[in-house]
Amino acid sequence: MSGKTPQKAEQSPLSGSKTSGDPFRLSTDELRLLILPVILISEGLLMLCLMTGFDSSLSAQQRTFNIVLGVLGSIYSLVFYFWIIPVIPYFKSLRWLLPILNGAAVSTTVLLGPVYIQEFALLVLITFTLGTAILFGRLPGYAFVCTSTLLLSIFSGHLNQLGGLTVWGWILSVPILGIIIIETVSRMVNIINHHLRRMRTLNEVASSLSSSIEISEVFEMMSTAIQSALQADTYYIGMKQKDEIRLELLYDGGEFFPPVNVPIQDSLSGYVVRKNRSILLQHVAADAKNIGVHMKTVGKARLSQSWMGAPMEHDGDAFGVVAVASYSDNAFTQRDLELLENIAQQASMAIDNARHHSQVEEQSRLDSLTGTLNHYTFLSELGGLLQAARSLRQPVSIIMLDIDHFKQYNDQFGHLVGDRVLTSLAQSILSNIKSTDLVGRWGGEEFIIALPNAQGFQANAVAHRLRNSLRAIQVLDRTGQPVAPPTISQGISVFPEETQEMYALIDLADKRLYQAKENGRDQVAAPPHIHAHVENAQQQQPMH
């Protein structure tokens, strides 16, 4: 994937846009609106020509010619306006054929038509040159000028000396004026198309980002937008993380690189985030030194010569940066920076929406009080965990636990203290298991833990470690006085050793939990062979 936008071949307003997929840039009504003045002028001249067909001072041959010219020319003009313009985009050959035919027709009219048409010859030619350049583009416009100039030169004997210029003097004016008109129109069209592409890019970015709910999708869409709208050798998207900027997406010189961190205090990206404003550097080495930043390379070991960056912000605080760079000096303009700022602004809203969606989605998975997985989510996660363990032939251990005499906390100290006991237990569980383990609130004061790739004796060790850790937690009542720390009863079951069915596995752990309660609470009830394993291990320990 190239970071540079390829140079596009010149296209007329009617030509297809590869980036947008539209059949042509302007609608038929818009084209007719642009060409209407040319049509009106030509129709006016042709009507005058028709009227001279009834001038008795002219020869019968001249009158006939003028009438035929006026009628046929008016018909062609109207047919061209109403029926030919709509089909031009679909027949590429018409882009060349019509300018040549029109050039021949206009030249013939000037050469053989009434004298007054020769008096307005330059106006006629300029008008049709302008219309051809608007409709067909630069090269077909030159085809019209060349055809007209060639015929006028060959049959210059039919022309009069006009405006104080010799015939050849104003014939030479035709290509000169044609060049001026065509180049002016072409540059205007290119500028308009350039702005249209940027507007289209921004609209596509806004439309795409508004529907994105994943930050990774936002980055991917931003990458596509930058590549299509800016000519950049390097670009990256960075997110603020404490005292660093993490470049989540980094592209340089034709390839993507893994994420990397850069300091926020001494980097161009950090400068944009700290100052919360965009910057454009046309000569990076000198300009960076002026703002107190020492240049560093990311991606390839090659310094950029032009650089610009725009902050991504929310509620007035910058949380990230979008930057593009080039290995050439003066590669970007202020308009490029404005486009980058627009992309960054759209991305800021999309990332904020994605974060909000992620938070809502995460909250829907968790128990609102303890922050552990809720009942439904735990079952869903456990199902996937057991399926993976089955294919990998790995064990999974389940620990079901319950707070002993939990009702007494609510009755004696109130439900607020009871909630504190639950949250303290949840934090203790999370601090004693791995990040890959699952813990969920099964209901009330009952919790469930899944330990992937853990044998029963390992689960037993975790259960005892958790049981011992509760002795150190501190829960305060409403007066600020400490209450007795809770104790827990626990039951363990092992997959696939004891059962391969999820609900049977949970039910077995639950039965052992109640067995631990019946044995006096603050106990761990594990499969019989685990107790034997523990006893053997204790017997083999050396005496001190």
DSSP letter for 1, please: -
DSSP for 98-141, written as a single string: HHHHHHHHHHHHHHHS-HHHHHTHHHHHHHHHHHHHHHH-HHHH
Query: Structural domain boundaries of the chain?
Result: 28-197, 215-359, 375-540
Nearest C-alpha neighbor of 190 from the set 137, 154, 144: 137
Interval 513-518 mean pLDDT? 94
Residue 477 has pLDDT above 60, yes or no: yes
Nearest C-alpha neighbor of 106 from the set 92, 126, 86: 126
Residue 113: predicted pLDDT: 67
Residue 536 has pLDDT above 60, yes or no: no
Helices 528-540 and 456-469: angle between axes, nearest 10 degrees: 80
Q: Which residues contact 402 (CB under 8 A, 6 or more apart)?
A: 445, 446, 447, 488, 489, 490, 513, 517
Q: Which residues contact 538 (CB under 8 A, 6 or more apart)?
A: none
Residue 157: predicted pLDDT: 67
C-alpha distance across the termini of the chain, in Å? 68
Residue in 445, 497, 518, 535 annotated catalytic:
445
Residue 13: predicted pLDDT: 38
SS3 at position 402 = strand
- Domain covering 375-540 in this structure, CATH number: 3.30.70.270
Q: Which residues contact 422 (CB under 8 A, 6 or more apart)?
A: 369, 370, 403, 441, 445
Tokens 């904020």 belong to residue = 352
Give the C-alpha separation, 87 to 101, whole Å. Answer: 17
Tokens 């002028």 belong to residue = 41
Nearest C-alpha neighbor of 354 from the set 503, 215, 537, 210: 215
Reported as a pLDDT band with limits 50, 70 and 90, residue 159 is low
Reported as a pLDDT band with limits 50, 70 and 90, residue 160 is low
Residue 16: predicted pLDDT: 39
Residue 170: predicted pLDDT: 66
Q: Which pairing describes strands 488-495 and 524-525: parallel, antiparallel, or unpaired? A: parallel
The H-or-E segment that residue 418 falls in is: helix 415-431
pLDDT in tens, 431-471: 999 989 999 999 899 999 999 999 999 999 999 999 999 98
Reported as a pLDDT band with limits 50, 70 and 90, residue 321 is very high
Residue 186 has pLDDT above 90, yes or no: no
Residue 327: predicted pLDDT: 92
Residue 502 has pLDDT above 70, yes or no: yes
Residue 7 has pLDDT above 60, yes or no: no
Residue 24 has pLDDT above 60, yes or no: no
Residue 17: predicted pLDDT: 39
Is the pLDDT higher at 94 or at 362?
94
Strand 396-403: give its sheet, edge to edge.
Answer: 438-443, 446-452, 396-403, 488-495, 524-525
Percent of the chain with pLDDT over 70: 85
pLDDT in tens, 393-413: 999 999 999 999 999 888 888
Check: CATH 3.30.450.40 for 215-359?
A: yes
Query: Which of 123-137, 280-294, 363-377, 387-401 tops mean pLDDT?
Result: 387-401
Tokens 């416009």 belong to residue = 141
Tokens 């069915």 belong to residue = 501
518 is known as an active-site residue:
no
Nearest C-alpha neighbor of 110 from the set 100, 131, 125, 97: 125
Residue 23: predicted pLDDT: 32
Residue 452: predicted pLDDT: 96
The backbone torsions φ and ψ at residue 251, rounded to the nearest 5 degrees and listed phi first, read -120, 135
Residue type, 100: I
Residue 26 has pLDDT above 80, yes or no: no
Could you tell me the two tokens for 323?
């930057």
Nearest C-alpha neighbor of 358 from the set 224, 216, 162: 216
pTM as predicted: 0.52
Residue 14 has pLDDT above 70, yes or no: no
Interval 464-483 mean pLDDT? 87
Indicate the average pLDDT of the chain: 82
Is the pLDDT higher at 148 or at 493?
493
pLDDT in tens, 322-338: 999 999 989 998 888 98
Give the C-alpha separation, 208 to 264, whole Å. Answer: 30
Residue 528: predicted pLDDT: 85
Residue 25: predicted pLDDT: 57
Give the C-alpha separation, 51 to 43, whole Å. Answer: 12
DSSP E strand stretches across 21-69: none
Give the C-alpha separation, 397 to 408, whole Å. Answer: 31
Under a CB-based contact definition with an 8 Å cutoff, are residues 329 and 305 in contact?
yes
Tokens 């934090």 belong to residue = 427
Residue 488: predicted pLDDT: 94
pLDDT in tens, 80-109: 889 988 888 788 888 889 899 888 888 887
Residue 35 has pLDDT above 80, yes or no: yes
Residue type, 256: F
